[in-house]
Amino acid sequence: MAATGEGPPKEAGPHRQRRGHAEDSNTNTSTAESSGIGAREPGKALLHVPCTRSYPQDLHAQLHRRRAASRRLPRCCDRCGARDPLLCRCWEPKPPLSDNAIDAWRATIERTMPIGAPIVPIEVLQRFHRNGGADRELAEVVWAQTGGLIV
């Protein structure tokens, strides 16, 4: 099987028997030369040496590296301009608008209409439209004046 080139050779040469024996340090040079390894230096065996360097991994250093990396990224969100996906808050559900907030938006829109077209968030216009009556008419006027420009 090994002679035809199908699979690895089935030889049990001296380099396969060396593992874990004490007399290997004396025979390492002759074994490497006789087995044809040749790429290793005489007396050097492949050893696993664990890394002994210690790098500080405190939270401040980790966050500093993350911030530095996020500054190199392109903007991932067109609406808020966040570069880091963890900082993007566009997709979080927004709390419903209170009645006081709707009244404040209504007063602001009525006050700024003579100056120019007010730009209002879409959530406010949707709420005005759902309220019906005068609020619906106000929402339609704002929509027509802004040409569909929303925030």
Note the pLDDT of residue 27.
47
Write out residues in the chain with pLDDT < 70, as ranges: 1-56
Q: Give the contacts of 84 (CB within 8 A, at least 6 positions apart).
A: 66, 70, 73, 76
Note the pLDDT of residue 140.
92
Q: First-to-last CA distance in the chain?
A: 74
Note the pLDDT of residue 25.
47
Note the pLDDT of residue 104.
95
Note the pLDDT of residue 107.
95
- Which one, of 138, 107, 116, lies nearest residue 125 by Cα? 138
Note the pLDDT of residue 32.
45
